[in-house]
Structure 1
Amino acid sequence: MFRTLLGAALTSLLLVCSSAWAGTVLVWGDSLSAGYGLRQQQSWPALLGERISAARLPHKVVNASISGETTAGGLARLPAALETHKPSVVVIELGANDGLRGLPVKAMAANLQAMVDASRKAGAQVLLVGMRMQPNYGPDYTARFEAVFRDLAKTNRLRLVPFMMEGFADQRHYFQADGIHPVAEAQPLILDTIWRELKPLLR
């Protein structure tokens, strides 16, 4: 009897532990998500983990973002990350460095599409995070760049965050000295913007 009860208790404990995390949110981005110039716990993905925990949602956050990452680099790294982390949601925040380097928009779009396809094939939902370019790249390039995210979201029926810095991009005090990377005070604002589209994917 004792052994039977003990065995049942251990089995229940293992089931609880194995189901503690119903899913993993994989943040797949560049320096804007890697927390460039910030302490790790100040970045919006770290704050996302805290918010998910506070909401008692059974998900954990894995931030695999790398500063300087392009869509080509992200695509090359993604298969191994999908195999390792087996995410239920992939937040793709890439493209800014493609734009800053003036890389071909068609190639960026193809890389993003391939990442969407790979993520879905692995059983994950996808949240696409868009970006805007400064006008000095020319109106044609800027328009084509920004359209990529809208078109991909429409074609693939993805949830889209059009611009992660919505609401503060024109306020200099929210950026570091380089004028590109948001400061710690801006991270909760970024999280709020992303959360609106991400939360429905966590149910």
Structure 2
Amino acid sequence: MDTVFLRLRSIVFLAFLCAFTQVQANQDEAPNTLLIVGDSLSAAYGVQSDEAWVALLRARLDAEGLENWRVVNASISGETTDGGLRRLPGLLDKNEPEVVVIELGGNDGLRGFPPGVIEKNLAKMIEQVREAGAHPLLVGMQIPPNYGERYTRAFAGIFPKLAEQYDTGLVEFFLEGIYNQDGMMQSDGIHPTAEAQSLLLANIWPKLAPLLK
């Protein structure tokens, strides 16, 4: 009787061990999530979705052996920091990301929103990302000089100030090497062309890659 009991107990233990191992394996294989909260620059405005920098990013992840990352692009054309701030809690709850790219502020600047308001909204977004246990990456922007030197300088200063304050990653200027190059901007002078999408990825990748690896 004792022998039968011992055998049964061994079988139960082995079954439990196998089940635990399978659960652990499934957890290890579960993809990490990269959440992008941006505006038209990340929402493929004026270009085919498979040509946009976010699509190129997915291919880059595979090429770098980072297949365990999935990309959730929650970018919306015309989005402001206020809209992003209101949407962010739901996006964090739904997607449970490990990394969040915050690519917002350009529309605020083009509409002349007060720099203090923009800074406050972005600061709250960074705080919410951190509270959710994720790593934020802030993408900096600049606006045309016709808005006046005082305003353009104050706007551009928002991003490095927040990056230093919160010790977070920063892409200094998303359109660096793009905005002033022939054929890289659409006719509106605001949105990059399809040819520029690889340059957008090249600008963000050096700051993004360390967070993924």
TM-score (norm 2): 0.88
Distance (whole Å) between structure 1 residues aligned to residue 25 and residue 153 of structure 2:
50
Q: Decide which of 41, 55, 67 is 2:64's aligned counterpart.
A: 55
**What does residue 163 of structure 1 align with?**
173
The C-alpha deviation readout for 1:51-105, integer Å capped at 9, x for no partner, is: 1122112211111000000000000000000000001000000000000100111
The C-alpha deviation readout for 1:24-63, integer Å capped at 9, x for no partner, is: 1101100000110122121111211111122112211111
**What does residue 4 of structure 2 align with?**
none
How far 1:15 sits from its partner (Å)? Answer: 3.9
Equivalent position SS for 1:27: strand
**What does residue 91 of structure 1 align with?**
101
Unmatched 5+ stretches in structure 1: none
Equivalent position SS for 2:65: coil
The 4+ residue runs of structure 1 with deviation greater than 4 A are: 1-14
Q: Decide which of 121, 125, 128 is 1:115's aligned counterpart.
A: 125
**What does residue 23 of structure 1 align with?**
32
Contact 1:25 1:61 in 2 (8 A): yes
**What does residue 185 of structure 1 align with?**
195
**What does residue 65 of structure 1 align with?**
75
Letter in 2 for 1:159: G
Distance (whole Å) between structure 2 residues aligned to residue 160 and residue 33 of structure 1:
16
**What does residue 141 of structure 1 align with?**
151
**What does residue 74 of structure 1 align with?**
84
- Shift in CA distance, 80/2, structure 1 to aligned 2, threshold 3 Å: same
Letter in 2 for 1:46: A
Matched residue pairs, number?
A: 203
TM-score (norm 1): 0.92
Contact 2:178 2:192 in 1 (8 A): no
> Percent of aligned pairs with the same residue?
48
Distance (whole Å) between structure 1 residues aligned to residue 18 and residue 198 of structure 2:
42
Distance (whole Å) between structure 1 residues aligned to residue 169 and residue 117 of structure 2:
22
Distance (whole Å) between structure 2 residues aligned to residue 20 and residue 56 of structure 1:
14
- Shift in CA distance, 34/172, structure 1 to aligned 2, threshold 3 Å: same
Contact 2:183 2:195 in 1 (8 A): no
Equivalent position SS for 1:201: helix
Unmatched 5+ stretches in structure 2: 1-9
How far 1:156 sits from its partner (Å)? Answer: 0.6
**What does residue 208 of structure 2 align with?**
198
How far 1:17 sits from its partner (Å)? Answer: 3.7
How far 1:7 sits from its partner (Å)? Answer: 7.9
